[in-house]
């Protein structure tokens, strides 16, 4: 997506509405974020080229393109007739294979093109399967669920400070100011084996799901993000206001948001 790309909102037969926006921010010279919005397929994703690595924008674009290519080459119709844990396990395997293939492709491209050596990216993808929501992530791009005025982080960051928080040696507020807060511990392209997390959640009418890069959640607290979302029901304006608020806080990184409403 290009800098400041205008978001869009569509009513689909799947009863999903979606808005999205990506912005270069105020400090970067290149937008290393990328996004994927496929409302008809009920599939959405964002990716963030790892800061400081070579060709981060190429890695993030390969990630979102790879998710779409995997979808086109591997029909989800194979899950037809499956229910319960069998269906969930099938989708878990589907998205793990998808991320592993992307990881291999990014590493292979980096070996061929020396200018791209070391490129890597985070990624988070969301797929709506009726009342079920499947989330797959690697790195620190996040998914949130907004329901009844409250917001819940659905994913766990793969980062240095997240590990410290889990160990009880750092609080969330301290993590926001930590000098290594942007250091991630997993990414597509960063190792031989990609180990994404996979989650299943129940969704219901009125729920909104937000995917974002750390350019948003690194500038705004969860309460600030939720407050911006609750100001409006129009997904176009929500995405615009979130990016604007992050830029007003400093815009130290690229900012990408995708908001889907059930």
Full pLDDT tens readout for the chain, 262 residues:
433 444 333 333 458 999 999 999 999 999 999 999 999 999 999 999 986 667 999 999 999 999 999 999 999 999 999 999 999 999 999 999 999 999 999 999 998 887 888 899 999 999 999 999 999 999 999 999 999 999 999 999 987 777 676 777 767 776 677 767 677 899 999 988 888 999 999 999 999 999 999 999 999 999 999 999 999 999 999 999 999 999 999 999 999 999 999 9
d(C-alpha 177, C-alpha 77), whole Å: 46
Q: Which of 105, 92, 23, 9 is nearest to 65 (CA)?
A: 105
Per-residue model confidence (pLDDT) at position 167: 77
**Residue 238 contacts residue 19 (beta carbons within 8 Å):** yes
Q: Is residue 53, in this structure, part of any structural domain at all? A: yes
Distance of CA 245 to the CA centre of its chain: 19
d(C-alpha 146, C-alpha 143), whole Å: 10
Per-residue model confidence (pLDDT) at position 169: 79
String of DSSP letters for 57-118? HHHHHHHHHHHHHHHHHS-GGGGTT--HHHHHHHHHHHHHHHHHHHHHHHHHHHHH-GGGTT
Output the domain CATH number for residue 76.
3.60.40.10
d(C-alpha 26, C-alpha 253), whole Å: 7
Q: Is residue 37, in this structure, part of any structural domain at all? A: yes
d(C-alpha 161, C-alpha 97), whole Å: 28
pTM equals 0.90
Q: Is residue 9, in this structure, part of any structural domain at all? A: no
**Residue 162 contacts residue 218 (beta carbons within 8 Å):** no
3-state DSSP assignment of residue 238: helix
**Residue 254 contacts residue 215 (beta carbons within 8 Å):** yes
Per-residue model confidence (pLDDT) at position 208: 96
Q: Is residue 6, in this structure, part of any structural domain at all? A: no
Structure tokens at 11: 């009513």
Per-residue model confidence (pLDDT) at position 159: 77
The domain of 92 spans 17-261
Dihedral angle sign, alpha carbons of residues 130, 34, 55, 26? negative
Q: Is residue 193, in this structure, part of any structural domain at all? A: yes
Per-residue model confidence (pLDDT) at position 181: 67
Q: Where are the beta strands (DSSP E) in the chain?
A: 17-23, 33-38, 43-49, 121-129, 132-138, 142-147, 150-153, 197-202, 208-212, 255-261
Q: Is residue 56, in this structure, part of any structural domain at all? A: yes
Q: For the chain, what is the radius of gyration of the CA atoms?
A: 17
Per-residue model confidence (pLDDT) at position 37: 98
Q: Is residue 1, in this structure, part of any structural domain at all? A: no
Count: domains in the chain: 1
Per-residue model confidence (pLDDT) at position 168: 73
3-state DSSP assignment of residue 46: strand
Q: Which of 162, 135, 151, 176 is nearest to 226 (CA)?
A: 151
Q: Is residue 5, in this structure, part of any structural domain at all? A: no
Per-residue model confidence (pLDDT) at position 193: 84
């Amino acid at each position: 997506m290009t800098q400041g790309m205008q978001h869009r909102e569509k009513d689909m037969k799947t009863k999903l509405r979606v808005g999205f926006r990506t912005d270069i921010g105020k400090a970067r010279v290149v937008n290393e974020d990328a996004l994927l919005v496929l409302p008809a397929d009920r599939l959405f994703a964002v990716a963030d080229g790892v800061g400081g690595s070579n060709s981060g924008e190429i890695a993030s674009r390969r990630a979102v393109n790879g998710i779409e290519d995997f979808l086109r080459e591997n029909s989800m119709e194979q899950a037809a007739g499956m229910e319960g844990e069998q269906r969930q396990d099938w989708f878990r395997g589907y998205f793990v294979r998808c991320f592993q293939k992307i990881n291999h492709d990014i590493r292979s491209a980096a070996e061929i093109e020396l200018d791209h050596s070391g490129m890597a990216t985070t990624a988070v993808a969301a797929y709506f399967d009726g009342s079920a929501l499947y989330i797959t992530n690697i790195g620190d791009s996040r998914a949130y669920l907004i329901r009844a005025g409250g917001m819940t982080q659905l994913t766990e960051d793969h980062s240095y400070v997240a590990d410290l928080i889990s160990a009880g040696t750092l609080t969330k507020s301290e993590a926001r100011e930590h000098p290594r807060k942007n250091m991630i511990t997993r990414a597509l392209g960063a190792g031989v084996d990609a180990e994404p997390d996979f989650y299943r959640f129940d969704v219901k009418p009125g729920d909104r799901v937000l995917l974002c890069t750390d350019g948003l959640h690194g500038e705004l607290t969860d309460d600030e993000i939720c407050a911006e979302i609750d100001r409006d029901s129009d997904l176009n304006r929500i995405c615009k206001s979130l990016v604007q608020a992050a830029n007003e806080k400093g815009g130290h990184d690229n900012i990408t948001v995708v908001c889907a409403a059930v």
